[in-house]
Amino acid sequence: TKLYTLEHLAQGETFELVGGNLVLLLGQQARVFHQTSGVSDLVFTAFQQRLAHPPSKVDNFILEELARLMVVAKGKYQPRVLEVYQSVLESAISATYGPSSSAISYTHCSQSVYTGLEAVASELKTASEREELLQRVLDLFIQQAVDGKKQSEKA
């Protein structure tokens, strides 16, 4: 029998399959080499630049890989990943509740933020780590609620 090959996919599906696999591969490399100078930073920067440019299902893989990187190298990447998550959620809220604009919409991948946070929380071992993440997530959700209220008042 023949293995599943790219010829059987439509062009958009091929992009998502190849792009998703590439993101998974880069994420794995970033985690393996997180202590090697610059490797994880390059991957993190590439993920940031690729996120929603153009919007696609690959963005979900990126957000999940960022969560996995945050688990492995939490001290270095936790604030940066949470910043990315916050911008995704703020943009998704703005696109959902606010007037339409030319800004990038992350509504197609906002659920992956919650999935990523769940994955990170399940990996934390100590109470202090859980409390720190809980504080940061609470700040994120409070900011999200405030932004949502502002957007609904403008509309």
Cis (ω within 30 of 0) for the bond into 54?
A: yes
Residue type, 98: G
Distance CA(62)–CA(20), nearest Å, equals 8
Does the pLDDT of residue 4 top 60, yes or no? no
The larger pLDDT score, comparing residue 150 to residue 115, is at 115
Overall average pLDDT of the 23-35 stretch: 93
Tell me how far apart the 2 most distant CA atoms of the chain are, in Å.
60
At residue 28 the predicted structure's pLDDT band, cuts being 50, 70 and 90, is very high
